[in-house]
């Protein structure tokens, strides 16, 4: 099974084209933020870019919003296939989003800041379709450019394996380290943002293509933990 690759932080038509030409399996649009992100979009910008995304490429709304109705309403506006709840929300909110989301897939971000992330991921997994593991700082919930302890992420993959809940790995990934990350963690999918950008914050064609190719190539050298669907 090939590990899927998502390119997040799409903020222009050019970014989207570059991600698609790189062979990304999913693209992420950041909208509705409570913490800083230079890739945050207005609702209209996100709706337009999601509308330009072709079939069979997953359109992911990445949001910090904390109200279930607002989250689902924004996903409806974009026509998102997947909702990535990246904010600091309660389990009740995640359950409400899943109930209201009209069949959309729900990802819940868990920030790997220590061993307590294992229990946090197990709790989150009960109410979503996949758990996304990311790094964070005091003022940023994602896009930090920093890796976290992959041994903890690997422990989460093992812990969720029995329930068949997929794990998406994010946080400081680049074309240079993605193979090592995949071998260490064995995730279902990987997610990159700042690791494939130019110094101006735009998506870099060569970096995007190298990242996706390296992720797909690394997949062929071992058997990822295949979620039971």
Which residues are tagged catalytic?
A: 8, 134
Tokens of 71: 């989250």
User: Exposed, middle or buried, 117 (CB in 10 Å: 0-12/13-18/19+)?
Assistant: buried
Residue pair 205/21 in contact (Cβ under 8 Å)? The answer is yes
């Amino acid at each position: 099974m090939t590990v899927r690759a998502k390119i997040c932080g799409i903020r222009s038509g050019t970014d989207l084209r570059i991600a698609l030409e790189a062979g990304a399996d999913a693209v992420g649009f950041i909208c509705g933020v409570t913490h800083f992100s230079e890739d945050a979009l207005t609702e209209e910008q996100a709706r337009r870019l999601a509308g330009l995304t072709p079939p069979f490429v997953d359109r992911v709304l990445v949001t910090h919003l904390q109200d279930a109705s607002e989250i689902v309403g924004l996903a409806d506006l974009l026509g998102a296939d997947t909702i990535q709840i990246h904010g600091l929300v309660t389990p009740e909110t995640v359950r409400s989003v899943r109930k209201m989301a009209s069949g959309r897939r729900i990802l819940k971000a868990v920030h790997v800041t220590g061993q307590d992330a294992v229990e946090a991921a197990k709790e989150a997994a009960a109410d979503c379709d996949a758990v996304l593991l990311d790094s964070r700082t005091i003022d940023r919930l994602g896009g930090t450019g920093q890796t976290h302890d992959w041994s903890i992420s690997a422990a989460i993959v093992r812990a969720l394996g029995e329930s068949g809940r997929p794990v998406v790995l994010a946080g400081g990934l680049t074309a240079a380290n993605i193979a090592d990350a995949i071998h260490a963690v064995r995730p279902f999918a990987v997610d990159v943002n700042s690791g494939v950008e130019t110094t101006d914050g735009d998506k870099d064609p060569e970096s995007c293509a190298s990242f996706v190719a390296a992720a797909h190539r690394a997949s062929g050298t071992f058997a990822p933990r295949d979620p039971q669907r």
